[in-house]
Amino acid sequence: MQSALEKARVLVEALPYIKKFYGKTVVIKYGGHAMLNSELKQAVITDLVLMKFVGINPVVVHGGGPDITGMLKRLGIESQFVGGLRVTDSSTMEVVEMVLGKLNKEIVALINQLGGRGIGLSGKDANLITATKKLGKDQADIGFVGEVAKINPQLLKTVIDEGYIPVISPVGIGPEGETYNINGDTAAGALAAALQADKLIILTDVEGILADPKDKTSLISVIEAADIPSLIEQGIIQGGMIPKVECCVKAIQSGVTTTHILDGRVPHAILLEVFTDQGIGTMVK
């Protein structure tokens, strides 16, 4: 009986959030350990399907860094990074696109298997993501690495209205038809801005933003976007977290209501953030 009452309490707690976010769009950057662990993968996809069934519109942008590195290694191609960005020559770009395409279809298949309606898209489809060449640190040429120039949100709006969960590979199309590899966080932020999403959620392999990077209990639950630059300057936000928070700040400045950095290693992290009073991770607003 106690177990049944607990389930009822959880549903009652979720009700105001279901009402609040009904019909709203939530962009989720899916990456890190949550893509590698089968149980976490199942939990993430279940969260997406549940959201869609209660009237929220999830849009998924996925990464694939470890899989890309693994495939390049198998092919005898060494991975090189400059300032955290993968140096991407034409051979590497072919592998990137192939691996991302495979991962995309795996995510879509799991959504469909769990009762949802997933549809896989590349940023090249219908010029969804138009890109320009991005230079690395000190203007270094890092190959076919792109930054988002323009988003075509109409394709996604059509797909969403038809009841699908779009799953997007972060590659873009250049002015001459060339393919660009785009950072997944950056792509997710740009898509959230173009769709005027209510939330941008980035799944990571850390608890969120920590006041002391060495102390896992020092989680900053809520932070204003205006306070981010000083935390970077002080070295509190560092390394791979910098592009994630910068992406959140840019999304907020572009009209996204709230952004969240969540620990994707926590099962059902998305549901815990969206449907509970306490939430998890760090909210940047």
Supply the DSSP string of 140-209, one letter for each residue: -EEEEEEEEEEE-HHHHHHHHHTT-EEEEE-EEE-TTS-EEE--HHHHHHHHHHHTT-SEEEEEESSSS-
Q: Are strands 118-122 and 81-82 parallel, antiparallel or unpaired?
A: unpaired
* Residues sharing a CB contact under 8 Å with residue 229, sequence separation 6 or more, in sequence order: none
Q: How many CA atoms lie within 13 A of 115 on its CB side?
A: 8
* Domain hosting residue 146, numbered range: 22-284
Phi-psi region of 239 (alpha: psi -120 to 50; beta: other; left: phi over 0): left
Is the confidence at residue 43, as pLDDT, over 70?
A: yes
As for how many domains the chain has, the answer is 1
Chain-wide mean pLDDT for the chain? 92
Mean pLDDT for the stretch of residues 31-49: 92
- CA angle centred on 249, ends 245 and 252, rounded to 5°: 135
Binding-site residues for substrate sit at: 64-65, 86, 181
Mean pLDDT for the stretch of residues 66-73: 92
| Cβ–Cβ < 8 Å for 269, 33 | no
Confidence of residue 130 (pLDDT cuts 50, 70, 90): very high
| Cβ–Cβ < 8 Å for 241, 273 | no
Residue 9 counted as domain residue? no
Residue 163 counted as domain residue? yes
pLDDT tens for 7-31 read 788 888 899 999 999 999 999 999 9
pLDDT tens for 188-236 read 999 999 999 999 999 999 899 988 888 888 899 999 999 999 888 888 8
CATH number at 75 reads 3.40.1160.10
Residue recorded with tokens 């001459």:
176
Is the confidence at residue 1, as pLDDT, over 70?
A: no
- pLDDT for res 2: 62
- pLDDT for res 277: 84
Binding-site residues sit at: 64-65, 86, 181
Burial of 120 from C-beta contacts in 10 A (0-12 / 13-18 / 19+): buried
- pLDDT for res 159: 96
Mean pLDDT for the stretch of residues 234-245: 85
Query: For the ranges 55-59, 85-89, 119-123, which has the lowest average pLDDT?
Result: 85-89
Is the confidence at residue 83, as pLDDT, over 80?
A: no
Residue 264 counted as domain residue? yes
Residue 8 counted as domain residue? no
Residue 55 counted as domain residue? yes
Mean pLDDT for the stretch of residues 266-270: 95
| Cβ–Cβ < 8 Å for 63, 184 | yes
Residue 277 counted as domain residue? yes
On whether the pTM is more than 0.85, the answer is yes
Residue 124 counted as domain residue? yes
Residue 13 counted as domain residue? no
